[in-house]
Each structure stands twice: as C-alpha cells, then as structure tokens.
Structure 1
C-alpha cells in the first residue's frame, strides 16, 4: 500500500503520547533510586532492585508487539488499544509508587510501573513505521525523540519545581518527601492526557486484506512459534544493531540506577545517610540524621534537574535533525557513531567535576547520544524488516535493550565498577566506556538501506 507523506503536525499528533510515556520513564529513571535510598537501600543493592525494569520489558514488549500486529479494532485500530491500556495502568502506578511504606513495596511497584509503560511504548514505535512512507521514517523517529526530550526535561525537574512551590523536601525517616509524591501524581496525570490526545487525533491504516487478516488472527497457538521463528530469521542488520544497543543500554541503565548515589556523593558531597550509623534515640544524633537526609533530598532534586538537561539536549539535537531530515537524507550510521561517543565523553567527565554547575555540560553531551539512541537504531531497523511484522520485530529488538540491563542489574555494574574502586562515581566511568564501545560498533553496519532509505533492503 502506498502511504502518503504526513505533515509535521500529523507526525507530532501521532507521537504526542510519548510525552506522557517519557514523563513516566524520566520520573522512574531519575527518582526511583532516590526512593530506594530513602527507604534504606545501599547503593550496591540498587542495580538489583532495578531488575524489574528490564525483565518486564523482556516479557511485555514482544508479547504486545505480536498482539498489536494481530489486532484490529473498528474504532481504536491496531496500536491505540494498547496505548490506552498502558496509560491507565501507568497513571495509577505513578501515583502509588512514592507512597510505598517499605523497600519491597517500592520494588514491586516498579514492576507494575515498568510493565505498564512498556504496554504503551512498543506500539508507539511500530506506529511510526505503520503510518509513514520509508522516506519519512528518520523524520518520524526524530520528531518522536523531540517530544521525548521535552518530557524528559520537564519530568526530571518536577520535584524541584514542586519544592519551589512550597512542598517540602524534608520528611521523617523512611518516608518519601511530599515534593516527590506530588511530582509523581502530576506525571500520572500528564501520561494519561497525552496518550488520549494521540488516540483522538490519529487514525490508522486498516489491514490491506481484512478477511485474510481475520483468518490469520484466528489461528491458535502460534505465538511462541512465531516469536522463535522470527528470532531465527532476524535480519543481519538487526543483529548488528543489537550489538550497538547492548553497550548503549548498559550505559544508560547504569546512569538511571546509580547516577543519584554517585553524584550526590561525588559532586554534591551529600550522600544518603545510613540510619545504622546514627543513634536515633539520641536527640542530637537524630537531628544530625534529619539534617543529612534533607541535604541528600535537596541534592537529589538537583541531580534530577541536572539529568533533565540530557532531555533538553536530546530535544535540541532532535529539533536540528527534524529540520534537516524533513528535506534531506542523513547517514544514520555516522550520526549515531559520533553521538554515542560524545555521550561517553560526558559520562567520563563526571569523574573530574567538583563544581555542580559543570554537570550540565556532561548531560548536554549525554543528551546528544540519547537523542540518537531514540531515533537512529529504529530508523535503521524499520528499513530492514518486513512491514507486516513491524510490531513483533520492534518487540524482539527490545531484547537487545533489556538483556544488557538484566546483566547490569545482576552484578555487571558492581563487578566492572568495582575493578576501578569502591567509589560510586566509578559507575559513571563504566557507562562512559560502554557508550564509546557502542559508538565504535557502528562500523558493523554495512547495509545501505539501513544507513539511508534509498537503496534496497538486505
């Protein structure tokens, strides 16, 4: 079927739901470790507590991708039913996460939250490939990245913004501050509204042969067979992109899970106080704990705001690419390579920073790599797979995102950073080296249709 070219605003509308999805991911990525630390977690335990995120992605995305390929609803279409289900569940989870009374409850809510976000996210990736002709794929994924950048920056600053409105950063021992609770509630509200906006402003193409589609849909017991067969038939370009994704997402999982303990300690000199080191029955020591805890919470707000810079930077990078790709083609391979290596440099520079104001320069570089990660691999992939199986292949491709995160959570980060020393900041050095390796792996991409859309697929 010949697909018409869409205007900027049509592409914007179909991607707008990603604003809410990124509110969820940014709040999760920027502040879950803070919640874990507030509830008593040691920084060495945090990566394992984060294992919920990649495990749910490993399970949910291929299933949702497969199901959405085989779904057609007369009013909601193919992908939009999953947008709606994921948005409702995510909004509920975002409200309850910061109210967790214990560490195990917070870890459990992370499972629910990440699974819910994944239900919405995977179909959004597939929708770009569904709706756009191949000549607009890079443009579409870049617009999506632009919206993600806006969401990252605003959501990362939410606790700081809320605290500026008078909500307290102080809280009793083991209780998440009100500023964080209000920020997460706002995030849930934005998530639902932005996804509803896309649902109401975007239509989808029906299957070309609806009868054949319904007949195929009625076949039972094919899920496991289809998934395993298509993993075996994975295009070479997809496998090579998988290597790049492995090192890219190992780096960003390291940032999400350990940037807060690393930067509050190394840059702000305000690590999370360990309750066992204080005699809480002594008024003086209890007050000292409260002072240290408030300093940690305020430093965490600033770390979150600094992390928001990478969303702003990725937004600016995406905006630049949006203007360029609307009229011209780009070499996706070299754009991605340079972007990843700049991000790696940003992580490494954190080790040498003493002034918190200089963190923003590191996150500017990291944002360039993030903007590329959210667009270039998907643009390259969409030019290399069967359009009829786009949702399933996008879900399978997610394996290359979640497997490195699982390895990192199960001890990979602690082991590698431990080789460099005991300081939490060493994890950021590991993230930097991993991104540089990911950048160099772009030399593996040789398929011309992945590098630019103009030639035939491999």
Structure 2
C-alpha cells in the first residue's frame, strides 16, 4: 500500500521555514498598519473599515490559489511556485507602504501586501498536508506555529529595537511615519524573500501520480469510495437558484434598511457580502444548467457546499476566534495609547512610546506562541486536540478581557501570555484536525475555502466594530478588546461541538519525540 515517507526533524524544519518570512511581513502589517494610517490623519472610528482590504483580499485570493495549486505541476512543483512569486510581491509591498505620501496609497499598499501574503500562505498550509503522513501532521503544523511566532516576534519588536538599541527616531516632528518604522519594513522585505526562498530550494514535492496513489490507499484503508465524487452528491440546480435568490434578496433588503435608517456606511459591506454570496450561487446554478461545470469557479462553489461535517463545525470555531483576533490587531494600538498612555495626538512622544510598546506586546505574544507550539502537542496528547484548543482559546479570551483591568502598561505582558497560547493553537489545531477530514486531491482548495471562515469574521469586525464603538462606547477603543475577548471565549465553547475524525491517531503522535525536542 502506498504511504508517504516520514520526514526527519530537519526536513520538516526546511519545509516550514518559509513561514518565518511570511510572518515577518504579516507581523509588520499587524503591528504598524493602524499606526501608519493614524499618522496619515485617520480617526480611530475609521480604522476598521480601512483594514477591510486584508480580509476581503483573502476571501478572493485563497480559494483561487488553492484551486490553481491543486492543479499545478511544473519545474518548482505544485505549491512552491506560489511561495516564490508571493514572496517577491510581498517584499515589494513592504517597501512601498511606509513611504506612502497619502492615505489611498497606503491603503492600496495594504491591499497588495495582503494579496501577496495570501498567495504565499495558502499553499503553505496545503504543503504540510501534502508532504507529511497523517501521524506527522500535528508536528508539521506545530513547526509552522513555531516559525510564525518567531517571525512575528522579530517583526513586531523591530521598531522598538531600532529605537532603544540603535537610537533611531520613533517620532516625526509635525507627524508622519517614523524612521524606525521605515527601516523595519525594509528589513522585513529582505527577511520575507530570503526565508521563503530557503523553503523553495531545500524541499521537494510528491508528483500528481504519487499523490493519487496515496489518496487511493488512504480511502481503501478507511473503506471509503475510490473518490470523493463517488460518495458525495452534487448540489441541484434548483438548490443553487433558490438559495441564490434568497441570499441576494437578503442583501438588498439589508441595504435598503441601512439607507432608510441612515446607519454608518460601513454596514453596507454586510449587505454586499450577502448579495455577493447569492449572486455566486445563481451564477453557479446557471453554469450547471448549461453543463459548463469544468471551470474553477463552479468547482470552488460546489466544493463549498460539499464540505465535510468536521469542516463545518470548525468553521464556527474559526469565526469567533478570528473576530477576536481582528479586534486585537486593529484596536490594540489606539486602545493602549489612549487608555494606558492617555495620548491621542499621533505626533506626541507619549503616543509613539505607546505604539512602540504595543509592538513589544505583539512580539511577546508571538514569542509565547513560538514556545507554546512545543507545549501544546503535549497538552493535546494528554487531554485531546479539542480540549487543548478550547483551553488555549479560553486563555486568549481572558487575556483580551483583562486589558481594561490593568492600568500600568508595563504589566500588559501578563494577558499577552494567554493571547500567545490562543494564537499558537489557532495556527495549528484547526489545520491538524481539518487535514485529516478532507480529500487529499482537494487539500489546496479546501484550505482556501477554510479561509472563508477566517475572512468573514474579519470583514464583520471591520464593518461593525467602528460603528459599535462610536454608537455605544463613545469611541473608546479599549471596548473593542473586551468584545474580542468575549468572542474568543465563545470560540472555546464551540470547540466541543467539533467531531475530530483523526483524533485517535493524532493522540498517539501529537507529542514530538524526545529526540526531536533535543534537536530543537
């Protein structure tokens, strides 16, 4: 029976090292985007809608890249061409963003940067599922979490390090993006490119014929049909059309209600999301009626409605988890600078000291995440993947909710420990569970579709958080962190509704061997 070869520690290291570079770019974006926007004159209540570029791009890009990478095979393999070009584009965007003279250029740079990161990131998730046997996937995703944490530590702390260690200015007289942020983005651009190229040129991939043989052997071992198509019915044209009409009308009705009640314009994004989902179904139904289903759009929409049950259950967990994370990323800088440093003037020393400290806090939680990546598999082996993930999410939720209870900003490192455990688990546990529940030939497209349930809560957060703060909380950003904490606690509760089909084998292999830990 065809089986994938077990990889040694250094092979898994090389395979995942590119994520170190990806997270440098992602970490610089998370820790500094609000700071750059505020330096260009953006009000706190407008930050969330400007951040919408990131999740909207991921919603479109990841399923497309997943679908294409499933069907790609060339000189660099299946997934590696996307690593290569995505890294080049990400590096270019990092060079542009801190130099943006006006807001629209900064927003466009964010859009390009996030699209490029998604081009690189999505195939990396499938890469682990492709190359590792079932019993090593938990270790592979844990290694990714380790590199994500270490990359983000460097990225988040770079402006602070440049100021404290090298005396580079962290403020600009009259406002603007400080020199420390400029240099951090330049260093990050080089780091992204070099780390991803390391993975591209030190790893190999299984051929399509080999992957087909592995999939057939796995389904035979489970006693399943030879292919997914044989055991999962397609969605009827009528279901597409009826569903499409219902969702489109819901979007129209919501848009009319927003107009009639004069709600904030950001809420129109929700109406657009509903309408777009409806129109996509109508288009898929019309293509199926005409027998034109051999195209990427039809296949992605069809696969969306044929998701395994485990994936649907994980989607709920992801929704609440990522709503909380997006609240953290958007609002920590304005929350800490206003609530703990009592500063709202972006040109003031107090504001920039607070913004630098947020970078350190972000570095801290990512450092905790890197270390937690070595500990969480041990917890999972003892109590199971679901209980382990729920515990980590609970720690993250409590951490976010604790921000307003701590007045001294120096002590904010304490709740960041909980956030670090949650972040590490979010980056590994759902993918470890998911990779055992989806068919191998569609690993890429399902990893892309899974990103919907990361992106949709981010779009929702970008749409409503600013409105909620303005309407109910007098524009105080600290309340966004409280709401994010509550959302993460809800995610922890929902974990117990997930059916982990690979749990028995995962428990046996969750903890890294003593030899692997000694090499680390």
Q: 1:297 aligns with which of 339, 352, 356?
A: 352
- Give TM-score, length-normalised by structure 1: 0.89
> After the TM superposition, which parts of structure 1 deviate over 3 Å for at least 4 consecutive aligned residues?
209-212, 321-325, 416-422, 450-455
Give CA deviations for 1:122-162 in whole Å, capped at 9, x if unaligned.
00000000000001111110011011110111110000111
Give CA deviations for 1:369-403 in whole Å, capped at 9, x if unaligned.
00000000000100100011000000000000001
Pick closer, same or farther for the CA change 1:166–1:220 going to 2, 3 Å.
Answer: farther
Please report how far the alpha carbon of residue 55 of structure 1 lies from its aligned counterpart in structure 2 after TM superposition.
Answer: 0.4
- Residue 130 of structure 1 aligns with which residue? 130
2:34·2:330 contact (CA, 8 Å) conserved in 1?
yes
| 33-42 or 3-12, which deviates more | 3-12
- Residue 93 of structure 2 aligns with which residue? 93
- Residue 405 of structure 2 aligns with which residue? 352
- Residue 17 of structure 2 aligns with which residue? 16
Q: Equivalent residues in 2 for 1:286-365 (5 A)?
A: 290=347, 292=348, 294-321=349-376, 331-365=384-418
- Residue 6 of structure 2 aligns with which residue? 5
Give CA deviations for 1:402-429 in whole Å, capped at 9, x if unaligned.
0111111112453278535542100110
Please report how far the alpha carbon of residue 182 of structure 1 lies from its aligned counterpart in structure 2 after TM superposition.
Answer: 0.2
- Residue 425 of structure 1 aligns with which residue? 478
| 257-266 or 440-449, which deviates more | 440-449
1:3·1:132 contact (CA, 8 Å) conserved in 2?
yes
Q: Tell whether 2:345 aligns with 1:272.
A: yes
Q: Give the secondary-structure state (helix, strand or coil) at the position aligned to 2:10.
A: helix
- Residue 157 of structure 1 aligns with which residue? 157
Q: Equivalent residues in 2 for 1:53-72 (5 A)?
A: 53-72=54-73
- Give TM-score, length-normalised by structure 2: 0.79
| 445-454 or 47-56, which deviates more | 445-454
Q: Give the secondary-structure state (helix, strand or coil) at the position aligned to 1:426.
A: helix
Pick closer, same or farther for the CA change 1:13–1:329 going to 2, 3 Å.
Answer: farther
Q: Equivalent residues in 2 for 1:390-401 (5 A)?
A: 390-401=443-454
Looking at structure 2, the residues matched to 83 and 296 of structure 1 have their Cα atoms a distance apart, in angstroms, of: 37
Looking at structure 2, the residues matched to 210 and 348 of structure 1 have their Cα atoms a distance apart, in angstroms, of: 45
1:240·1:444 contact (CA, 8 Å) conserved in 2?
yes
Looking at structure 2, the residues matched to 444 and 386 of structure 1 have their Cα atoms a distance apart, in angstroms, of: 22
Q: Tell whether 2:192 aligns with 1:201.
A: no
Please report how far the alpha carbon of residue 172 of structure 1 lies from its aligned counterpart in structure 2 after TM superposition.
Answer: 3.6
Q: Tell whether 2:452 aligns with 1:408.
A: no
Please report how far the alpha carbon of residue 232 of structure 1 lies from its aligned counterpart in structure 2 after TM superposition.
Answer: 1.0
Please report how far the alpha carbon of residue 175 of structure 1 lies from its aligned counterpart in structure 2 after TM superposition.
Answer: 2.0
Looking at structure 1, the residues matched to 191 and 86 of structure 2 have their Cα atoms a distance apart, in angstroms, of: 13
Looking at structure 1, the residues matched to 343 and 364 of structure 2 have their Cα atoms a distance apart, in angstroms, of: 21
Pick closer, same or farther for the CA change 1:450–1:107 going to 2, 3 Å.
Answer: farther
Please report how far the alpha carbon of residue 271 of structure 1 lies from its aligned counterpart in structure 2 after TM superposition.
Answer: 2.3
Q: 1:222 aligns with which of 295, 300, 324?
A: 295
2:48·2:465 contact (CA, 8 Å) conserved in 1?
no
Looking at structure 1, the residues matched to 104 and 23 of structure 2 have their Cα atoms a distance apart, in angstroms, of: 25
Runs of 5+ consecutive residues of structure 2 not aligned to the other structure: 214-291, 509-520
Q: Tell whether 2:432 aligns with 1:379.
A: yes
Q: Tell whether 2:148 aligns with 1:148.
A: yes
- Residue 435 of structure 1 aligns with which residue? 488
Looking at structure 2, the residues matched to 330 and 341 of structure 1 have their Cα atoms a distance apart, in angstroms, of: 15
- Residue 31 of structure 1 aligns with which residue? 32
Q: 2:309 aligns with which of 228, 236, 243?
A: 236
Give aligned pairs, total. Answer: 428
Please report how far the alpha carbon of residue 454 of structure 1 lies from its aligned counterpart in structure 2 after TM superposition.
Answer: 7.5
- Residue 284 of structure 1 aligns with which residue? none
Q: Equivalent residues in 2 for 1:166-185 (5 A)?
A: 166-185=167-186
RMSD, aligned α-carbons: 2.1
